[in-house]
Amino acid sequence: MAEGVRKRGKTWSYYFDAAKVGGERKKIEKGGFRTQKEALDARTAAMAQYNNTGRNFEPSKMSVADYLDYWLENVIKKNIDHGYSYNTYRDYETKIRIHIKPAFGQYRLSSFQYAPDVVQDWIYDLKKKGLSKSMIKNTLTCLQGALNYAILPLKYIQANPCIPVKIGKMPVDQDAKAHAEYICPKEEFERILQRFPSNSNFHISLMVPYHLGTRISETFAINYLEDVDFDNHEITIRNQLIKIDRTWYFKAPKYDSFRTIKMGATLEKALKDETIRQKKNRLRFGSQYLRTYVLPDRSITQVRSDITVPYKEVMLLCAKETGELLTPESFKYCARVIHYELGNVLFHSHCLRHTHGTILAENGVNPRTVMERLGHKDIETTLQTYTFNTDVMQQTAVDVFEKSLQA
């Protein structure tokens, strides 16, 4: 009989000595294998994992591809809602699968740490492929972050090959820049509202980000039953609506930016009108109306009104006449109408938030107030985003200078 295995009844077991605990010998044993060979193979794998501190791999022999899989699973995915969002995980997974693994996955991690030239050549290739500067920068940041974790706390490698790599100058994509920085003029917003008036499904989803500067995921997560305070003229942002696989979930706002925002009379009236519209539809459709509930795992489900369920009911910002929930994904229809029917190809869901912040900055609102209202990560983000030179700011600078000459 081979060493470290034995037969018990009709099956085989393996065993080996483990480190002493409290001076007493310990043995690791596992059975249920059909043949002696299966038990021996399992013993070899178990001993390797035990001797490698519970890992099923040796860091010195690990490929870049396997390490990135490990990092995604154990650092990012396991910490969703605890420092990372599901969208961040999905974004990293896409970048690693499409751009990083095909370029570096076959290398050993231990040797890749000494290859900044290989990473630099990869950056040149991405530029030749026509990727935008922001995409290249974000992909490089993803790789650099993963390798930083391999240095500390893991100590698998000692150097990060991404550190000395430079993206360099790239031609500015004027169309992309115009799209990203688009500010929706007052007249254009009014034209959009004419297409989506107060009795339409998407009217309130346009009004809220324009008047409050909310993110699209935060906008559709507003719950009339808890988040809207008409007495104090406030809206509390406590959730965002995120799709995971085919299910929508309540998640904490980006950067945990929980906040309470003051609202004006125009938005308040629009919100009141929408709540009345939804309540009328509930009466109109009766038992066929879909009510919305939050399950214990914070997923969102909808059930007909004639069915009783033991879950917390919510009344979210937007719904069709039948109560069917509208989501950030549904907003794509609204954007397509604005693009193709109204001819505004620069419009996108984020531009209303951007417009709100710009209007505040142009009219001299304190940057910290803008930061708190928009839920930015820090004041630097606000200053970098909303201190650029708009036409209004340029004209204000000229007016101030001219006035100083007359003093």
Confidence of residue 50 (pLDDT cuts 50, 70, 90): confident
Other beta carbons within 10 angstroms of residue 198's beta carbon come to 13
Residue 145: predicted pLDDT: 97
Is the overall model pTM greater than 0.85, yes or no? no
Q: Which amino acid is at 242?
A: I
Phi, psi for 16 (deg, rounded to 5)? -160, 160
Secondary structure (3-state) at 222: coil
Domain boundaries defined on the chain: 5-56, 60-171, 187-325
How does 319-357 read in b/e, with b if 16+ C-beta sit within 10 Å?
beeebebbbbebbeebeebbeeeeebebbbbebbbbbbb
Residue 47: predicted pLDDT: 79
Mean pLDDT of 164-191: 92
Mean pLDDT of 290-305: 97
Rounded Cα gap, residues 282 and 322, in angstroms: 7
Check whether 45 has a pLDDT greater than 90: no
Superfamily of 60-171 according to CATH: Tyrosine recombinase, N-terminal domain (1.10.150.130)
- Is the CB of residue 355 less than 8 Å from the CB of residue 210? yes
Mean pLDDT of 306-313: 96
Mean pLDDT of 366-382: 92
CA atoms within 13 A on the CB side of 131: 19
Other beta carbons within 10 angstroms of residue 390's beta carbon come to 16
Query: H/E element holding 332?
Result: helix 331-336
User: Tokens in use for 134?
Assistant: 């922001």
Q: Which tens digit of pLDDT belongs to each residue from 181-198? A: 899 999 999 999 999 999
Check whether 129 has a pLDDT greater than 80: yes
Confidence of residue 52 (pLDDT cuts 50, 70, 90): low
From 225, 258, 256, 253, select the one nearest 240 (Cα to Cα).
253
Instruction: Name residue 108's beta-bridge partners.
Output: 63
User: Tokens in use for 208?
Assistant: 């809220």
